Every structure is written in C-alpha cells, then in structure tokens.
A and B are shown apart, each in its own frame.
Chain A
Amino acid sequence: MADSTGGDGHDPGRRDFLYVAAGGLGVVGAAGFVWPLVDAMNPSQDVLALSSIEVDLSGIEVGQSITVSWRGKPVFVRHRTAAEISEAEAVPMSDLPDPESDEARVEKPEWLILVGVCTHLGCVPLGQQGEFDGWFCPCHGSHYDTSGRIRKGPAPLNLPVPDYVFLDDNNIKIG
C-alpha cells in the first residue's frame, strides 16, 4: 500500500503515521475508561477502613481458643498448651511443605494467632483435629499442625499469621 499511492500527492508514510497514531490514542483512551470499571470492583474505601481490631486475651485459659472476625474472616486466637508448643518446635524443617519455624510464627509461644482460612480454597478449618493435633479442613482434607503449618493435604501454604502487636500483656491489636 505504501508505494502504490505515490501518484496522488499524499505522503504514504505520513498517512500510515496518522493511522497508527489515531489508533494508538484510541486504544489508550479505551484503556483509560476500562480501568475505572475494573478498579471499581476492588475493595472500596470503607471496606479498607475496617481493617484493625483489638482483642482481650485475659479470659482465654490454657488450651482454649476463641475465634474473632477480622476483615470478614475468622481469626483463631489460641492459648497453646506446653505440649502443643514443644510439639510444634520439635518438627524438623524437612517435614514441612511450607518450611517456617514455630518461633517465626508467634510473638509469645503460648499465644498462636492465625487467620482461620484454609490456604486451599478458603474454608474454615476445625480446631484440635486432624493427624497433627492442630486444624483439619473438612472441605478437601488438609491437615495443619499445632503451629498452623500445613502438613498433609492439598493446601499449599501454612495458615497465615496476621500482623498483630501486643498492646500490653492481655491485649492485642490485629491489623
């Protein structure tokens, strides 16, 4: 096409440039319109604002757990027994599909705080069940240990530990 239109006085290179420039600008414009549509489906500001909670630990005895709701998800707060702590610490790294030491997952060994959402497909695992005395997910059979680490089943990762800080000995802030 470029060399066949020489006779009518138009510069073919210039015309091609105009086509590409106009088309390119159109694509950029369309993309600029699509992004607001896509981003409008992301979490809105009020959802993002509800992102931290405080939990009082004083009523939780050794061996008890509570479940609190954070960002619409369950968070397990467990007061671990000495047996559970030593069991979690004794596991060699080579046994773990997602290697992580127990120390790295707790601030204080007796308090284990986990997002209670199975890393497979998002069910809530059941506490103190399964082959490793931790959590067991009834949906597709994933087993977690007493540190919330994946040991067996289709889930690829350990139960996540949310960001939290101890405000004092008996209160934590999650998020």
Chain B
Amino acid sequence: MSGESSFQTNNAIVKWIEYRLPIFSFVNDAVVVYPTPKNLNYWWNMGSLAGIMLVVQIVTGIILAMHYTPHADLAFASTEHIMRDVNYGWLLRYMHANGASMFFIVVYIHILRGLYYGSYKAPREILWWMGIIIFILMMATAFMGYVLPWGQMSFWGATVITNLFSAVPIVGEGIVTWLWGGFSVDQPTLNRFYSLHYLLPFVIFAVVFVHLWALHHRKSNNPLGIDIKGPQDTIPFHPYYTAKDLYGMGVFGTIFAIVLFFAPNYMGHPDNYIPANPLVTPAHIVPEWYFLPFYAILRAIPDKLFGVVAMFGSLLILFVLPWLDTSKVRSARFRPVYKMLFWAFFIDCLVLGYIGGKPPEGIFIVGGRLATALYFAFFLVLPFIGWFERPKKLPESIATAVLESSGGSSGGAPDGAAAKSEDRG
C-alpha cells in the first residue's frame, strides 16, 4: 500500500476510471499482489471468516428488519410471524441468530490466535486495539439484538445488563433511567435498542476498515512471529491465500449449515419462546454462551460495584496487554513458559464459561472466584515471565524456516514459483 502501485492495464475503460478513482490499483494492492508471509497456517483463516460473518449478519438483518416490529406489544408476535409466515423467514432468522454465535466462535479463535502468536506486540498495538474495539461493539450489538424478540430471556437479560450501570456511584440510577427511557425496560428501551442494533454493525464495518488499514501497513504476523525481511519471505495474497481462505470458508460453512439445519436452537434458551413478562423473572437466567466467562467474573465478586468493575476490567485489560508482555519474542512456539501460561489461560476461560452457565451456589461460587483470580493472574505474571524466560532460538528468516521444515527439494519448487510470481507482480 506504500509507494507506487504495480497495477498495469491496457483496457481503456479501466484506465479512464483508474485515472479518476484508483479503485483497481487499490483492490490489486490490497488482495491480489498484497505480500503475505508464506508460512501462515489455518488459524489465520479466522480474520476473513469474521469479515464474511459480518456481511452475513448485515444482509440477513436487513431482510429481517423488513418484517420485524419494534414494539413491546408486537415484537414477539412479529418474530413468530417471521418464523411461520414470511417466505424463508425461519431460514433468515435462524441464520441471523446462529450467525451471531458463529461470528463469536470465529472471533474468539481469532483473538486466541493473536494471543498465542504474539500478534498484539509492536508494531501492531493499534491493530490490536481496533480488534478489541470491534469485539466490544460486537458484544453490544449482540446483546441488543437478543433483546429484540422480546421473550423472557430478552427482557430479563436486558434488565440485568442495563442494571450493571446502576453500580456507578451517585449517577448510576440516572444513567439506567436514561438508558431505559423510563422506569423499567419497556417500549422506549426496545425501540432504541432496535435503532442501535441496526446502527452498530456499520460502525463495526468502519472499525474493521481501520483494523485492515493498520494490518496492511505493517503486514500480517505469522506463526514464527518474526518480521518479513524481504520478498523471499512472502507470497502474493492471490491466489495463495484467497484459495486457502476459500477452503476454510467451505469447512466453516459446512459446520454453520449443520448447526443451522439440525440444531438451530441448541445455543438458545427455551425461555425466550415465552413472551416477556415484567412481573416474573425466570428461575435461572443466563446470558448467551459468548458472554458466560464475563458473567462468571461479574458474579464471582460479592460486591455490586467491584463485580461490575471486574467484569469490564477483564475486557479493558486487553488494551494494555502489549505493554504487560515484556518479552520481545512474539510466537509462543519459542516461549516455553508463555506457552504453558497461554494454555492455562485458555482452560481458565473455558472454566469461567462453564461456571457462568451454572447457578450461583456451592462449588460454583468458590470455583468462579478461583477462576476469576486466575484470569487476572495471567496478566499480572506476564511482565515477569518476559524477564526470566529463556526463549528458544529464533529462525533466521521465514524463508529459511520454511525451506528447512519442508525438507529440501520438495519445498524448493513452490518457493521458486512464488518468487517468480513476486517478480512478475
């Protein structure tokens, strides 16, 4: 993206447009000749999958919005109308509801990939920040979307989550009344959530653009976590990674389709098929699965204000991660201590998720507190690991590492081909 574009054409119409709006060279530089580390593994598919899921959510959402009514008396019925009467309404709604879950699965893997391979480290801190902002926006969007069907879980989830802000000293109650536009979750709340639920995906889209801008400026990290040292370390994005991403998309699409057609309610809650009732709280309310680890942290602290602070803190602490990690080595492949710590953190997140879905009693209270302490402990011990850990020897370059691992001649041929296409581009 820096310097003169390599884009060339003899087509007069393309030239005419290109002179006025350099869109062809932009696309060419961004997704065709874009130099990409030649050693990316399948964990690097998640970025493009997340982008696809954003588009799927926006497209299905726009159609659903044509049939949905954001009114407290009609929202539940209009959702059922979509399911029963609208042509393919069931498909679109199940795609949208399960699509949110699939989007989160992909994004969680994407974040864990970044953690494992040190993608948050210099010079990618702002890229990392944009990712966290996207993640937070996604959570807000998903939360508000879940309120729209106006079932019992919608209503009480909205009540509990908006009440988190009442923990703010002095102005808390005022903030909650302002968020609701009334004295409880009601028609004004539903109406504004609908408005914001429609808006936020486009905000996400804009932040994704900045995320990609930063990415293309400093290029992708890679499984070795070492810098690109020259053209011998890269291959053009097309056809190598367009093909790899398309293959991943096929696998992902198959999994999505299996969930969609055979278990569309597996990740939902039966209580949400009961219309919202402001006078009765369901016996066991839980948020959607993708919020459970954070919900477990909220409940682990027996104080309202500090519980809320810990929950938001567990997200916001990711912003300072690039400075908490003092090691210069990015990839966990070369960091034996960090690698163990990463897996401990990963398991801890799963445990938090499990506990978040259980009632707050007995063993789950103790377990939740322990797992919450471990979550934060990960960030607190990170600075010290960097000081005493002895990293393994890093390879000289991506190219030499690739040639060594593929074992001589068999690795040489595609490498030569890649280099040639680089010359041509």
Contacts and interface: CB of A to CB of B under 8 A. Distances in A.
Nearest to B156: A123
Main secondary structure of the interface of A (DSSP, over half): loop
Interface residues of A, number: 27
A43 B281 contact: no
Contact of A154 (B185, B285, B299): B299
Contacts of B178: 38, 41-42
Interface stretch (B94-102, B300-308, B344-352): B300-308
Given A72-B278, A154-B299, A123 B160 contact: yes
Contacts, number: 87
Contacts of B166: 121-122
A74 B278 contact: yes
A22 interface: no
Interface string B324-367: 00000000000000000000000000000000000111000000
Given A41-B192, A138-B281, A72 B304 contact: no
Contacts of A138: 281-285
Contact of A121 (B160, B180, B284): B160
A47 B304 contact: no
A67 B181 contact: no
A119 to B, nearest CB: 8
A174 interface: no
B279 interface: yes
A140 interface: yes
A44 interface: yes
A71 B162 CA distance: 17
Interface string A141-155: 100000000000111
A67 B307 CA distance: 30
A27 to B, nearest CB: 22
Interface string A63-91: 00001010111100000000000000000
A141 to B, nearest CB: 5
A43 B299 contact: no
Nearest to B304: A156
A55 B192 CA distance: 32
Given A41-B178, A154-B304, A139 B183 contact: no
A165 to B, nearest CB: 20
B164 interface: yes
B177 A73 contact: no
Contact of A72 (B186, B192, B305, B361): B186
B307 A123 contact: no
Nearest to B295: A140
B281 A47 contact: no
Given A41-B181, A69-B279, A141 B188 contact: no
A123 to B, nearest CB: 4
B181 A120 contact: no
A154 B310 CA distance: 14
A106 interface: no
B184 interface: yes
B159 interface: yes
Contacts of B188: 43-44, 47
Given A72-B185, A73-B183, A156-B303, 18 more contacts: A38-B178, A43-B183, A47-B188, A67-B279, A72-B183, A72-B278, A73-B184, A74-B279, A121-B160, A121-B166, A122-B163, A123-B160, A124-B279, A141-B360, A153-B302, A154-B299, A154-B302, A156-B304
- 3 closest A-B pairs by beta carbon, nearest first, are A72-B184, A71-B183, A122-B163
13 contacts: A42-B181, A69-B278, A71-B184, A72-B183, A72-B184, A72-B278, A73-B184, A74-B279, A121-B159, A122-B159, A122-B166, A138-B285, A154-B307
Interface of A: 38, 41-44, 47, 67, 69, 71-74, 117, 120-124, 137-141, 153-156
